[in-house]
Structure 1
Amino acid sequence: MTLQRRILILATAVALLAAVCVLAVLRASSRADEKDRARAGGPQITRGEFSLAPGDGGRRIVFRNMAWGPHRDELATVAAGAPEGTRTASGVSCLRFHAAGGTGICLRADRSGVQEGYRAVVLDARLKEVSAHSLGGVPTRARVSPGGHLAAWTVFVGGDSYAGADFSTRTSVLDLRTGRLEASLEDFTILKDGKPYRAADVNFWGVTFTADERAFYATLATGGRTHLVRGDLAARTVTTLRENVECPSLSPDGTRLAFKKRVPGLPAEAPWRLHVLDLASGAETPLGEERSVDDQVVWIDDRTVAYALPGDFGADLYALPADGSGAPARLMDSALAPAFLG
């Protein structure tokens, strides 16, 4: 055996030994992180399987786990009646998520190419991939219709915050029954103040679907103002209803929209307060959360909404009465993008 070959064998052995040592350190570090969280009173997490199907597993919350450790960013679940209980982590990672009617939409990073991108992945009730669609920007909002047949998502194409005016979004709607993808709501006909409207600065975000899965509400921004719109999927139209409504979320009974509203006098970087709009009367009710909420809330039931605020590990979830009474209550630590199922 030549000296050169001996040196090559020795170098290979050293490299393999180094790799084994690094792997051992990483595994030990993960175990230590979990032990540290347990000592600090952080959420307990186990690996397991669960379903998105209605009625399968009782009333529960499925969400993006934000706790540090090996299961960070994975979809996890807890019983709705015990939100601080042990979490079951799925192994499926998402940046944004929503689910209804046995269907999930998962907006995730895509590292399969040379450059990192993003995909919208439709999940079945067992969290298996049904279809995937490339995204042209950074994920920010996701929604599934009550019956599970429609999915919508919004990405930032330019900018990364709704607080200022220097951003651009793209919102898509997918019909899972036909496979038809509306790549951008900007292709829909806009009826503003009863007349067709076109402008180069149009942006949409924050879709919420009606129970019949024929219509939706969303935010339209143009000319420095935001508008609540109602969309008709068959006619491919959106109609403006009122100003200063962002990220609407339709109540389970279909009578109210929870939304964030810009309030004059608040800081430019934190301008919103949560309100609820009664669709029949047009009355707006400010909710009892005094902090600025940059989220599309979800309804826990017809009386309570949930939303995320920044936390020590990225985000925490809070619950709040939807009638303007009461005060916010912390629902879950280290959690984001919840869906209330069952």
Structure 2
Amino acid sequence: MTARTRILVLLSALVVLTGVATASVLHASARAERRNRPQAGGPRITSGAVTLTEPGRVVFRNMAWGPHRDELVSAPATDPSGPRTASRVKCLRFYAAAGTGVCLQAVHGPVSDTYRAVVLDASLHIRARYDVPGIPSRARVSPSGRYAAWTAFVGGDSYAGTNFSTRAAIVDTRTGELTESLEAYRIVKDGRTYHAADANFWGVTFASDDRTFYATLGTRGSTYLVRGDLRSRTVTTLHTDVECPSLSPDGTLIAFKKRVPGLPKDAPWHLYVLNLRTLHETPLAEPRSVDDQVVWRDDHTLVYALPGDYGADLYTLPADGTGKPRRISTAAVSPAYVR
């Protein structure tokens, strides 16, 4: 090959590479434009002040395409499908109580994303930051606002299979004292201290006494509802086949998802409510598999997310096994009702 031919080949290659690069930039620009374009026919969203102390509001992660995608928004609690006020604070998972919020965020890096949990005050200002060791999945705040908890996948990215590992953390929002993993707590199972290398915890939910919490323990192929004690740093098994528990405001009931034999492996759950006094289970009138830690709107009504056109939609359902599910908002996830 002559020198002239080599130069021509090199120039041709440069032209091709430039064209590919230009096309990639244009494609990325077009995707960004589509992402920032308000969703046709979607909810009306305007920027404004969002607080965690305004009664009669529900705060959640907005999933509608447009400039406010992934931001925390507030809407009327009686009509979550109504106009939304956007906060400019972005979260993957969120919860709040008593003017304290916990927001699980992605931190985008040049090579890969990392994750963090931020504790928010009533005006959504950051009070503290904590590293999260994997993909965020669950978040909760105690009724008093004193404690916050989160769960992350540190191996795998779905609860549907059995090959996953999670880490559940709890922080005292007043002192900043952090328990990085509930695996540091003593496990009491069948009246005895229990040790297992595969013990996993997820889905923390708090009682109102700033001492008691509930969570899921997974070990040796089974799941258990555990009651935790923040002072003694122990967890005690109460009931089998419970995942992602959520304690009712009056502290008497646990809503949870339960694996039901015969359902598809990628959608194996049915919603139930457990009476903590009698340990009686009530199946709920939702025929679809729900992979969420449900929220109690009040002592009688549940709210949860199911997949939707823009990621997720919110549904409501009576907690006594009657009625039928009703969609209350599109393009929304991780609701917290301001009380």
Same fold (TM over 0.5): yes
The letter for the 2-side match of 1:33 is R
| Structure 2 residue corresponding to 1:330, chosen from 303, 306, 327 | 327
What residue is the counterpart of 2:151 in the other structure? 154
Question: Superposed, which structure 2 residues align to 1:192-271 within 5 Å?
Answer: 192-271=189-268
* 2:275 counterpart of 1:278: yes
What residue is the counterpart of 1:4 in the other structure? none
1:97 and 1:28 map into 2 onto residues whose CA distance is: 25
Moved more, 176-185 or 108-117: 108-117
1:123 and 1:32 map into 2 onto residues whose CA distance is: 26
What is the TM-score with the length of structure 2 in the denominator? 0.89
Distance 1:69 1:194, change over 3 A: same
The letter for the 2-side match of 1:130 is R
The letter for the 2-side match of 1:177 is R
C-alpha displacement of 1:113: 7.0
What is the TM-score with the length of structure 1 in the denominator? 0.88
The letter for the 1-side match of 2:253 is R
Question: Identity percentage over the alignment?
Answer: 62
The letter for the 1-side match of 2:89 is V
1:276 and 1:70 map into 2 onto residues whose CA distance is: 38
Unpaired runs of 5+ residues, structure 2, are 1-21
Distance 1:49 1:197, change over 3 A: same
C-alpha displacement of 1:213: 1.3
C-alpha displacement of 1:111: 2.6
Q: Deviations over 1:16-56 (max 9, x none)?
A: xx9xxx9xx8799469832xx34xx2111101112102xx2
Distance 1:159 1:27, change over 3 A: closer
1:156 and 1:29 map into 2 onto residues whose CA distance is: 31
What residue is the counterpart of 1:52 in the other structure? 52
What residue is the counterpart of 1:9 in the other structure? none
Q: Deviations over 1:140-188 (max 9, x none)?
A: 0000000100000000000001111100000000011221100100010
1:221 and 1:273 map into 2 onto residues whose CA distance is: 18
Unpaired runs of 5+ residues, structure 1, are 1-17
What residue is the counterpart of 2:18 in the other structure? none
What residue is the counterpart of 1:123 in the other structure? 120
Secondary structure of 1:83's partner?
coil
The letter for the 2-side match of 1:337 is S
Distance 1:305 1:32, change over 3 A: closer
1:291 and 1:174 map into 2 onto residues whose CA distance is: 34
Secondary structure of 1:186's partner?
helix
What residue is the counterpart of 2:7 in the other structure? none
The letter for the 1-side match of 2:244 is C
* 2:71 counterpart of 1:67: no
The letter for the 2-side match of 1:221 is G
* 2:177 counterpart of 1:180: yes
* 2:284 counterpart of 1:287: yes
Secondary structure of 2:37's partner?
helix
Secondary structure of 1:206's partner?
strand
What residue is the counterpart of 2:316 in the other structure? 319
Q: Number of residues paired by the alignment?
A: 314
Contact 2:79/2:328 (<8 A) preserved: no
Contact 1:206/1:248 (<8 A) preserved: yes
1:305 and 1:260 map into 2 onto residues whose CA distance is: 12
| Structure 2 residue corresponding to 1:171, chosen from 162, 168, 173 | 168
The letter for the 2-side match of 1:165 is T
The letter for the 1-side match of 2:270 is R
Contact 1:59/1:80 (<8 A) preserved: yes
C-alpha displacement of 1:300: 0.5
Contact 2:36/2:65 (<8 A) preserved: no
The letter for the 2-side match of 1:46 is T
Contact 1:30/1:70 (<8 A) preserved: no
